[in-house]
Structure 1
Amino acid sequence: MTHEPIPDPAVQTSGAQEIARDLLVVPNRRAGLVPNIGVVGGTRAVLVVDTGIGVANAEQVLALASEVAGGRELYLTTTHFHPEHAFGAQVFADEATYLVNRAQADDLREKGQGYLEMFRGLGETVARRLDGVRVPVPDLVYDDAHDLDLGGRTVRLRPTGRGHTRGDQVVEVPDAGVLFTGDLAETGQFAIFPWFPPYDTDVSGVGWLAVLDRLTATAPRTVVPGHGDLGGPEVLTDVRDYLRELREETWRRRDSAMEETEILAEVRALLLERHPEWTGREWIDRGVSCLCAEHAV
C-alpha cells in the first residue's frame, strides 16, 4: 500500500453518465479508492454494481439508484470483496437484494474484518469513510454463474476464478455489449496485486492472465474497469499485455537464479521506463513477488 496521503475517496454521483439504454456509470474520475459504479435497469428491476467505500458514499449511490428505479425492484452486486467496492452494502439492507458468487462471500466472511482494519489504517480520510461500517453479508449466494432477469434485459454474473482476488466476479450486460470487470482491469495504472503474505496470497498473476485471455475473447464493446477511464476491448488487452510483460520479465530473471531483491529492482526500473505515465507504482513490487512465488510452484 502507498504511504502517501490519500485524498477523500468521495463518490460523485452527479457525474453519472448513460453509456447505453437504461445503463448508467458513475465514473471514478481517477480518484483513489473510488471505483466505477454501475446502475443497470430493466423493465422490472435495477441492478447496482459496487457501492463505493463507506456509508455516506453508498447512501448517494442508493439515492441515485432509487431515483432511476422509480419503484422498480433493486438488486446489488459487488465485483469483489475489497472495501472501496463492497463496504457500503449495509446501506442497501431492506432496500435491495445483495447477491454475490460463493468465493466472494467466502472472502467477505474470512478476510473482510482484516481488510476493514487495514483500510482504516490508510489515513484519517479513509478511516472517517469507514466509521460505522460493518463487513457486508450477502442476501443471496450463487454457485458457478447467475443470470439475473431485470425484465427485458438479462445481466450475467460470472465468477472468474483466482485473479485479482479469489472471488472476482464480472458483470456482463449482453444486449448493450458492456462488461464490468472490477479490479481485473484498470486504466492508467499498474495492476493492483494485493499480495500480503502471510495474510492474503490469493492473488494469482498466472490465473489473472488466463482470466483476461477469456474475457478478451468475448469482445465487449464497452469495458468498465474497476478504476480509471472506460474504453473498448483495448482495456482488457492492455492489462493482459502488461501482466504478460510482468510475468516474462520476472520469470526470465528467476530462471537465471537471481535473488528476489535484484529481480524487484530490475523489473521495477524496466516497467517504470516503459510506462512512465502510469500511477500505482507501489504495486509493481508486489506483482513481482507474487509471480516469483508462483514460479516456484
Structure 2
Amino acid sequence: MNEIADPVVRVEQVRELAGDLVVIPDRRVPLVPNIGLVGGAEAVLVVDTGMGTENAETVLRFATEFARGRRLYVTSTHFHPEHAFGAHVFAGAATYLVNRAQAADLTHKGPGYLHMFTGLGEAVARRLAGVRLPAPDVVYDREHDLDLGGRVVRLRATGRAHSNGDQVVTVPDAGVMFTGDLVEAGQFAIFPWFPPHDTDVSGTRWLAVMARLAGQRPSVVVPGHGDIGDAGLLTDVHDYLAALRDETWRRRDSAMPEDTIVAEVRAAMLARHPDWEGREWIEHGVRCLCAEHA
C-alpha cells in the first residue's frame, strides 16, 4: 500500500461563497474534506471538522476568529473519520448536532472505523492518535432548521445512501448545498462496502437521493472532496451511479461470475471517466450493486 500523504487541514486558501459563508478547501489532499463555515447575526455553523485533534483545533481557531464572539455550532455530514473525528475538540466551545442515524453510526461503528483508518499509514495514525469519539449535544430525527440569526440553515438526513446517517446542509438564501461524500468532484463515488463488517452503503438508495437533491437545483454544491461546483455535480454523480447499476445488473442478469462483472464494469467506467480519481472504489460499487440485484 502506498503511504497516504499527511491529511492536514490548511486555512490559507479559504474561499468565500457568499456573505458570511466560506469554505476551507480540501486542496485535493486525500482524507481532507471541504469544510464549511456559515454565519448569521448571532451564530456560526461549522460543517465537518477534519481528521483528528490537531486538524480540528486548526478549524476551531479559524471558526472562533470568524465568529467574532458569535455562538458556535458544529455538525458533520456523516460519521467517517475525516468528517467527524475532530468534533470532540469543539466540546465546550460549540454545540454539536447530527441526525439520529449518524449518532448511532458514531456509537456503534465509530470504534471500528477508528481502528481501520489507523491502519492506513503512519501519517493517518498520527492524526488519529488520542481521538475521542464525539457525543452529539443535539440529535434530530430527519429535519432540523438551525436559525443563526437572520439566516436559517437546513439540516436534512437523507436516509441510507453512502452511509446510514448521511446529512445534507443547505443555505437557502445563498443557494449553497454541502453534500459530504454523497458527492465527490472528479472522483468515482466512494462505496464503503466492506462485508461482513460494513454493508450499510446502498447504491440504489444513493441513486434515489441524488435524484431528489438534483431536483432542488442549488446554485453552488460543496462536495465532500474535490472542487466546488454547481448542480451539475449532482447530475454527474446520479448519472455515474445509474450507469454503474445498469452495467452491473445487465451482467448479473446473465449469471456472469462476479469477478468478471467487476473487471468488465471497471473497464467501462474508466472509459467513461478516464480522468477521475479513486478508481479503487469502482470495484466496491460493483460488488455492492451485485448484492442489491433483485
Q: Which TM bucket (shorter chain)? A: over 0.9
Secondary structure in 2 matching 1:126: helix
- Aligned residue type for 1:211: V
Structure 2 distance, partners of 1:186, 1:175, is 23
> Any gaps of 5 or more consecutive residues in structure 2?
none
- Aligned residue type for 1:42: G
What residue in structure 2 maps to residue 164 of structure 1?
162
- Residues 186-240 of structure 1 show CA distances to partners (whole Å, capped at 9, x for unaligned) of 1111100000001110000000000000000000000000000000000100011
Structure 2 distance, partners of 1:195, 1:184, is 14
Structure 2 distance, partners of 1:33, 1:13, is 16
Which of 175, 180, 185 is the equivalent residue of 1:177?
A: 175
- TM-score calculated relative to the size of structure 2: 0.99
- Aligned residue type for 2:123: T
What residue in structure 1 maps to residue 14 of structure 2?
16
- Aligned residue type for 2:171: V
Structure 1 distance, partners of 2:11, 2:59, is 7
What residue in structure 2 maps to residue 65 of structure 1?
63
- Aligned residue type for 2:88: Q
1:252 equivalent in alignment to 2:254: no
Which of 193, 203, 206 is the equivalent residue of 1:205?
A: 203
- Aligned residue type for 1:94: G
Secondary structure in 2 matching 1:40: strand
What residue in structure 2 maps to residue 262 of structure 1?
260
Q: Provide the aligned length of Structure 1 versus Structure 2.
A: 294
Secondary structure in 1 matching 2:109: helix
Residues 1-297 of structure 1 aligned to structure 2 (within 5 Å): 3-296=1-294
Secondary structure in 2 matching 1:14: coil
Return the offset for 1:13: 1.1
Return the offset for 1:4: 2.2
- Aligned residue type for 1:273: A
Return the offset for 1:272: 1.2
- Aligned residue type for 1:258: M
Return the offset for 1:79: 0.1
- CA RMSD of superposed structures (Å): 0.6
Return the offset for 1:68: 0.7
Structure 2 distance, partners of 1:233, 1:188, is 14
- Residues 3-27 of structure 1 show CA distances to partners (whole Å, capped at 9, x for unaligned) of 3221000111121111101001001
Structure 1 distance, partners of 2:64, 2:131, is 21
Structure 2 distance, partners of 1:102, 1:273, is 39
Return the offset for 1:136: 1.3
> Any gaps of 5 or more consecutive residues in structure 1?
none
- Residues 227-258 of structure 1 show CA distances to partners (whole Å, capped at 9, x for unaligned) of 00000000100011000010000000000110
Structure 2 distance, partners of 1:261, 1:291, is 13
